[in-house]
Amino acid sequence: MVAELRIKNCESSQSYPKLITINIYKIQQGPALSQSRSLFFIHKNILQQNTKNMDTYKISENGYYGDFGGAYVPEVLYKCIEELKHAYIGLLESDDFQKEYRALLKDYVGRPSPLYEAKRLSNKYNARILLKREDLNHTGAHKINNAIGQVLLAKQMGKTRIIAETGAGQHGVATATVCALMNMPCTIYMGETDIQRQMPNVERMKMLGATVSSVTSGNMTLKDAVNEAIRDWCCHPKDTFYVMGSAVGPHPYPDIVARLQSIISEEIKVQLHDKTGKDHPDYLMACVGGGSNAIGTFYFYLEDTRVKLIAAEAGGQGWNTPFTAATIHSGSVGILHGSKTLVLQTADGQVKEPFSISAGLDYPGIGPVHAHLAQTGRAQVYSINDDEAVRAAYELTRLEGIIPALESAHILAVLPKIKFKKSDVVVLTVSGRGDKDMQTFFKYRDYA
Ligand SMILES: Cc1ncc(COP(=O)(O)O)c(C=O)c1O
């Protein structure tokens, strides 16, 4: 036993009112991970260039990235996590899975997503900027890459019910979409604050047949939705699969999500070569909530130190104010949602309420891989305030005719902070489109 987790008793009633304290266990041993094998089989020669020591930033055999990661779970979930841990690599790498997953990514999601050369943006920032257009995927963000993979995994493991959490609603919509396609019942947990600010996505989830369960604990955002989803999972461990939306949670979730999102990086390698003749960009840039689009963008370049990895987290009203979600800037080591990582917390270990204009970045933790990339200095992380993000969203809209999601706008806001050389090739992932954020953008019309 290494720590304690307070969790509501699931036997008493539907609303689980009683609080009990239960033990949580750290899972020490994992299966031997075949890390040198790419999940993806095509373009292998391109993927393997400059990645000789593949293990420095990848997950260890027992589920850690350096000091961060592991699986700190309540006893009731221990069996589920063990089952997943032993099954996932074999299933993800199987020919059957790959065939179905690849076919859906191509014909249902519309992959490969374009790598678009943004000429006016390039001109403004004095570099060659290419945008990886995850906003053009079916359902409007990168989240669908992961949702398809995890629901396929659930089916192959014989699970009959899907649950998920959502912040911005993009992961909820993606999961509800895949569940409609695969005829699986699904419940999505969403904080009431997020329900109010992302209403179009709530309606989409309902139309797709999902049950949207409003969460009214805490500040009613993503952290609280994850808590509630974990509670549900504790109550239905046998038949239910928890589709985790970001590179967070207990091992093996961060690795599952990273592998499923690595399609972004895989495509960048091929497309960049076709467009520029180069095998690597000088900069790779992505926003980080839990970190799934960022690790998907960085995946095949992690060991290639010619590439500077740049991330943006949500500063809210400033990373050194109480109104922030900048976990890397102002968090400290703790355990959140089953993983040892950086957490926004008080001196006595209570999780602080995060704050960001963007529902998808409004989370008090960070995927363990990003804690490791930041701690080792491999990635440079910027804290971007709400107003900087909104200005950057308006700028992309007016320069390139692309309305980005508020989450993606955070990484766009980093562009003016870097002194590029004219010859620099910059690949920046636009993780999603801004339709869901129109209500917020309306309030800032004067930023245009
Ligand atoms: C469009 C978009 N981008 C980014 C994120 C942040 O998630 P992650 O860090 O897992 O990519 C979200 C989360 O909801 C999102 O909807």
Confirm whether 100 is a catalytic residue: no
Secondary structure of 72-105 in HEC code, one letter for each residue: EEEHHHHHHHHHHHHHHHHHHHCHHHHHHHHHHH
In a shared domain, residues 189 and 148? yes
pLDDT tens string 113-171: 999 999 999 999 999 999 999 999 999 999 999 999 999 999 999 999 999 999 989 99
In a shared domain, residues 97 and 149? yes
CB of 407 shorter than 6 A to ligand 1: yes
Domain end call among 256, 273, 289: 256
Structural domain count, the chain: 2
In a shared domain, residues 137 and 197? no
Report pTM: 0.90
Whether the per-residue pLDDT at 44 is higher than 70: the answer is no
Whether the per-residue pLDDT at 16 is higher than 80: the answer is no
In a shared domain, residues 216 and 315? no
CATH of residue 333's domain is: 3.40.50.1100
In a shared domain, residues 406 and 336? yes
Q: What is the pLDDT of residue 15?
A: 31
In a shared domain, residues 230 and 341? no
Q: What is the pLDDT of residue 55?
A: 59
Relative to the CA of 135, which ligand 1 atom is closest?
1
Q: Which helix (H) or strand (E) holds 216?
A: none
pLDDT tens string 206-247: 999 999 999 999 999 999 999 999 999 999 999 999 999 999
CB of 404 shorter than 6 A to ligand 1: no
| d(C-alpha 447, C-alpha 389), whole Å | 11
Q: Which helix (H) or strand (E) holds 117?
A: strand 115-117
Domain end call among 224, 241, 256: 256
Confirm whether 339 is a catalytic residue: no
| d(C-alpha 164, C-alpha 177), whole Å | 12
d(CA 168, ligand 1 centre) in Å = 7
CB of 258 shorter than 6 A to ligand 1: no
d(CA 431, ligand 1 centre) in Å = 7
In a domain, 349, yes or no: yes
In a domain, 407, yes or no: yes
In a shared domain, residues 123 and 197? no
In a shared domain, residues 183 and 310? no
In a shared domain, residues 130 and 184? no
In a domain, 1, yes or no: no
In a shared domain, residues 127 and 96? no
CB of 293 shorter than 6 A to ligand 1: yes
Q: What percent of the chain has pLDDT over 70?
A: 88
In a domain, 24, yes or no: no
In a shared domain, residues 51 and 181? no
- The token pair at 4 is 């304690």
In a shared domain, residues 132 and 161? no
For 249, the domain range is: 72-106+143-256
Domain end call among 226, 256, 286: 256
CB of 290 shorter than 6 A to ligand 1: yes
pLDDT tens string 349-405: 999 999 999 999 999 999 999 999 999 999 999 999 999 999 999 999 999 999 999
Confirm whether 165 is a catalytic residue: yes
In a domain, 2, yes or no: no
Nearest-5° Cα angle at 296, 294 to 299: 100
In a domain, 16, yes or no: no
Whether the per-residue pLDDT at 42 is higher than 60: the answer is no
